[in-house]
Amino acid sequence: MMPRAKLKAQKRDAAQARLAALSLPQGGGWVTRARTAARARLLDMGLPVKRDEYWRYTDPRDLTSDQFAAAKVLKITDEEPAFSAVDRVKLVFVDGVFDALASDDPALAGVEISLLLDVANTDLHWAQDIYGKLEARGQLPVERPLAAFNTAFAQQGVLIRATAKAAKPVALVYLRSHEHADAIMHHIVRVEQGAELTLLENGPVAARFNQVIEAEIGAGGTLHHVRTQGRDHDRAGSAHLFAQLGQGAQLKSFTLTANGRLVRNEAMIWLDGQGGSAHIAGATVGDGAFHHDDTVFVTHGAQGGESRQVFKKVLRNGAVGVFQGKILVEQAAQQTDGYQISQALLLDENAQFLAKPELEIYADDVKCSHGSTSGEIDPAQLFYLRARGVPEAKAKMLLVLAFLAEALDEIADPDLAEDLRGRMESWLQRHS
Amino acid sequence: MVALDETQLREGVDRETVETVQSMAGTYKHGWETDIEMEFAPKGLNEDIVRLISEKNKEPEWLLEWRLEAYRRWLTMESPDWAMLKIPEIDYQEQYYYAKPKSMVEKPKSLDDVDPKLLETYAKLGIPLKEQMILAGVEGADEGRKVAVDAVFDSVSLGTTFKDELKKAGVIFCSISEAVQDHPDLVKKYLGSVVPQNDNYFAALNSAVFSDGSFVYIPAGVKCPMELSTYFRINAENTGQFERTLIVAEKGASVSYLEGCTAPKRDTTQLHAAVVEIVILEDADVKYSTVQNWFPGDENGKGGIYNFVTKRADCREDRAKVMWTQVETGSAITWKYPSCILRGDDTQGEFYSIAIANNWQQADTGTKMVHLGKNSRSRIVSKGISAGHAQNTYRGLVSMHPKATNSRNYTQCDSLLIGDKCGAHTVPYIEVRNASSRVEHEATTSKVDDDQLFYCRQRGMDEEEAVALVVNGFCKEVLQELPMEFAMEAQALVAISLEGSVG
């Protein structure tokens, strides 16, 4: 067998072996159909391996195997969890399982909230047009087998439908209690025409997690998504955001990641309607055995769309930052404005930055650019601050925060942005 | 297919630019063929063909073994599928791997003995095979500038000019088949040392069946007294060209090397899989310039050359320098990544490229800068222009190894789209494994930049003048890196610099 066919066969065998011991969760009509289809997709694609082009910088083994390392639960006493001060509807998951007692009453004006577990037996639900559908769409042109795995086996998750401007943010809080928990969660978000929703996520989730969000944003709708991935050092996980935007729809998604042994965040965005706008941003601070991967794919399918990808990584002491970003502009998407920046600040010689920022463009009247840089703190800037009496540690912190600022600027709510900025500052203090 | 004439010209794209791009594929100048009797090896590829090529070149045993090993490795490999190219399946058994003009069977002693028909071919291409000839357009210098030429016709080298003068300087410039006879130790030492036999599918194929190519050896401390040039011509039908070039620059040596290529117009596609290896030792520098103008296929995408090329320079010792400059206008398919291995400390690699794809051409080209030595520096400037139904991709790697501290890279790739049926893509890989190195990558895809236009208009230029000026600037950075001899040809080819546009 020639090498490529052999690799494909190995991947399929691995998927077979992985699924052999797993049976699809019980459920009703539409959920079961979606799960069965996802399982078939996965068996056809096979499990990802490091030799896959899409995984060249991140080894997926710890995300795919049935064995995974225990992760110590970190008791954090030196700061409040993110978004604690925000007036929000809180939905709590412990090790990936919904905890009704710890959660708020999900009644919220302009928003319908239900649990995947509760609606999985119904024959009809609005989520059936989305569940597994966006994930399936996202398998082209690049396969995302972990997301198919999620669709097939997730039992936990929330379905959120905004029909007007939500009165408060909906906050998903992920707590950990167990060293071995393996969480699979699948959330569905639908923002109806002209509606607006803020979705917050925070917490360390589980020892290992596989999370998918499928979001459909109707014409003129807005989704704000702000996520923090907590400080636990040992946890590993992958998250996928699939978002489909209608005419004039807006998406702003921001993720702050501090530590974690292995995190892969994928975003697959389609600007289907004219004049849609998607901003995907991330700030990463990593120290030690830390591997963080942002993989973003933005497809402009209609005229006059705008997209921004802004990713900033501060890395030290062996930490590895990965960025794979793509802007795809289809032939119909004239007058597209696409921008992408990925930058790494390496605080010592052991850190690594690996990037593949891509453009693929089939329309001529577009403005697309990308930039990517990597380097250490600029000694001239440091000197400037020190010459003005700023102590070295303080000066470095100022420069690092200034470096991260462009990503934080993508958060619309200034209070949320300030909260996260403060968290980065404390992180830097702890790790200086 | 929508001809460019019918393409709606967008505001901001100059008609002259469009016409120039169009003229290059539409009216391929070098599409004629030379009618000459050829000697072919039988069609197809197997170990016997490999043995036959080796025998025809009177090669020593080790080289035959080397070829056979490459062939056996090739059988276990697959054609790469990662480039953004739609490559129709190639039947490797339907090609001729060796074609030689009959008159060359008995090797001519000098160029004077070469069949005049062959010499005419090169005269018609404007390639000077007579030593007294001075290149057109290069006036001013008292004696004119001399360029030594190695002319490769299908599978064989016809001859090399200025041999004696080069010999006086200690420079060896000959075909690789001659080098195997006359300088076997050098060839054995360096062949495959930069691009190993199994480096990739096409390099393995080349290693098995390469027939000729150029060999350059510049001894320590010698600055090559003239530019060296190889001119490749594919003439015979259904014949692949597999040339192999090996350049060695010893300590403190310096050379500028030019490469040109053309082929006749035909309905069927033809295969070209070349390997260029460059070894650069301490303080030496090599400048390698290419104007690639293989037949690109007609305006319906019929015919054309499939161009799969592996080019790599190894800056093996400290302060070695290499510069690749390429103007890629030909070929139906281009798969080519001239690379720099910056092994020594303070080494330097540069890559300047203009790639123009029109009609149904597909180009996936770029470079690799592999920084292994401390304080190594690299610079990449790539300009891609797409028109018609063409797809043009920049693909590049910048890799900073942990030990390559204090290194620098700057990359700039710009793409210009003319018409909405074509594509322009950028696929850079950036791998930084130490903190003190700085890597900067910038890429843009656009029509002509509005800010620049606005700036020019503000200063009183009319729209057309402003556009001319901006487009003029688009390719300049690359064109100015070409040696004089090529700059002329390249400018005519690209002609993005518009007459009288500087107001």
Task: Work out the angle at residue B346's Cα, subtended by the Cα atoms of residues B344 and B352, and round it to the nearest 5 degrees.
Answer: 95
Our CA-based measurement puts residue A81 at a distance from the nearest CA of chain B, in whole angstroms, of 32
Rounded Cα distance between B489 and B477, Å, is 16
Residues of A in contact with B10 (CB under 8 A): 364-365
From the list A430, A202, A203, A209, the residue with the least C-alpha distance to A317 is: A430
Cβ atoms of residues B283 and B318 within 8 Å? yes
User: Among B84, B432, B440, whose Cβ lies nearest the Cβ of A353?
Assistant: B432
Rounded Cα distance between B153 and B114, Å, is 12
Cβ atoms of residues B19 and B27 within 8 Å? no
Kindly state whether A380 is in contact with chain B, defined as any CB-CB distance less than 8 angstroms: no
Q: Provide the token pair at B364.
A: 């996936």
Q: Strand B214-218 and strand B172-175: pairing?
A: antiparallel
Our CA-based measurement puts residue B392 at a distance from the nearest CA of chain A, in whole angstroms, of 10
pLDDT value for B160: 78
Per-residue pLDDT for chain B (503 aa), expressed as one digit of tens each? 334 444 444 555 666 666 665 555 446 777 778 887 888 888 899 999 999 999 988 999 999 999 999 999 999 999 999 999 999 999 999 888 988 888 776 766 677 777 777 777 777 776 666 654 433 333 333 344 577 888 888 777 777 778 888 999 999 999 899 999 999 999 999 999 999 999 999 999 999 999 888 999 999 999 999 889 888 887 777 788 899 999 999 999 999 998 887 777 778 888 999 999 999 999 999 999 988 888 888 888 888 899 999 999 999 999 999 999 998 888 899 999 999 999 999 999 999 998 888 889 999 999 999 999 999 999 999 988 888 899 999 999 999 999 999 999 999 998 888 778 889 999 999 999 999 999 999 998 876 667 877 888 889 887 666 665 665 667 777 777 777 666 656 655 554 322 222 22
Residues of A in contact with B440 (CB under 8 A): 371-373
User: Among A351, A358, A373, whose Cβ lies nearest the Cβ of B440?
Assistant: A373
Best of A330, A347, A359, A369 to disrupt the B interface by mutation (most B CBs within 10 Å)?
Answer: A359
Is the Cβ pair B441, A351 closer than 8 Å? no
Rounded Cα distance between A190 and A212, Å, is 14
Our CA-based measurement puts residue A274 at a distance from the nearest CA of chain B, in whole angstroms, of 18
Rounded Cα distance between B412 and B392, Å, is 16
pLDDT value for B227: 87
Per-residue pLDDT for chain A (432 aa), expressed as one digit of tens each? 899 999 999 999 999 999 998 999 988 789 999 999 999 999 999 999 999 999 999 999 999 999 888 999 988 888 899 999 999 999 999 999 999 999 999 999 999 999 999 998 888 889 999 999 999 999 999 999 999 999 999 999 999 999 999 999 999 999 999 999 999 999 999 999 999 999 999 999 999 999 999 999 999 999 999 999 988 888 999 999 999 999 999 999 999 999 889 999 999 999 999 999 999 999 999 999 999 999 999 999 999 999 999 999 999 999 999 999 999 999 999 999 999 999 999 999 899 999 999 999 999 889 899 999 999 999 999 999 999 999 999 999 999 999 999 999 999 999 999 999 999 999 988 887
pLDDT value for B487: 65
Kindly state whether B427 is in contact with chain A, defined as any CB-CB distance less than 8 angstroms: yes
Q: Strand B227-233 and strand A291-300: pairing?
A: unpaired
Our CA-based measurement puts residue B384 at a distance from the nearest CA of chain A, in whole angstroms, of 12
Q: Provide the token pair at A332.
A: 């119909």
The beta strand positions in B177-293, using DSSP E, are 214-218, 227-233, 244-249, 254-262, 269-280, 285-292
Task: Work out the angle at residue A278's Cα, subtended by the Cα atoms of residues A273 and A283, and round it to the nearest 5 degrees.
Answer: 165
Is the Cβ pair B439, A364 closer than 8 Å? no
Is the Cβ pair A354, B439 closer than 8 Å? no
pLDDT tens track for A385-410: 999 999 999 999 999 999 999 999 99
C-beta atoms surrounding B44 within 10 Å = 14
Cβ atoms of residues A64 and A46 within 8 Å? no
pLDDT tens track for A43-53: 999 999 999 99
ipTM: 0.94
CA distances from B181 to B57, B184, B186 (A): 9, 6, 11
For A394, phi and psi rounded to 5 degrees? -65, -40
Kindly state whether B403 is in contact with chain A, defined as any CB-CB distance less than 8 angstroms: no
Rounded Cα distance between B232 and A238, Å, is 52
| Half-sphere exposure in the Cβ direction for A329 (13 Å, CA) | 33
Rounded Cα distance between B309 and B334, Å, is 8
Task: Work out the angle at residue B392's Cα, subtended by the Cα atoms of residues B391 and B396, and round it to the nearest 5 degrees.
Answer: 140
pLDDT value for B142: 39
pLDDT value for B11: 54
Among residues of chain A, what percentage have pLDDT more than 70? 100
pLDDT value for B107: 67
Q: Name B262's Cβ contacts closer than 8 Å, sequence gap at least 6.
A: B30, B125, B232, B233, B234, B293, B294, B295, B330
B185 exposure class (CB count in 10 Å sphere: 0-12, 13-18, 19+): exposed
Residues of B in contact with A1 (CB under 8 A): none
Q: Provide the token pair at A346.
A: 């390496």
Best of B362, B418, B431 to disrupt the A interface by mutation (most A CBs within 10 Å)?
Answer: B431
In Å, how far from its chain's centre is CA B470?
A: 27
pLDDT value for B500: 26
Kindly state whether A356 is in contact with chain B, defined as any CB-CB distance less than 8 angstroms: yes
Helices and strands: H and E segment counts in chain A: 9, 19
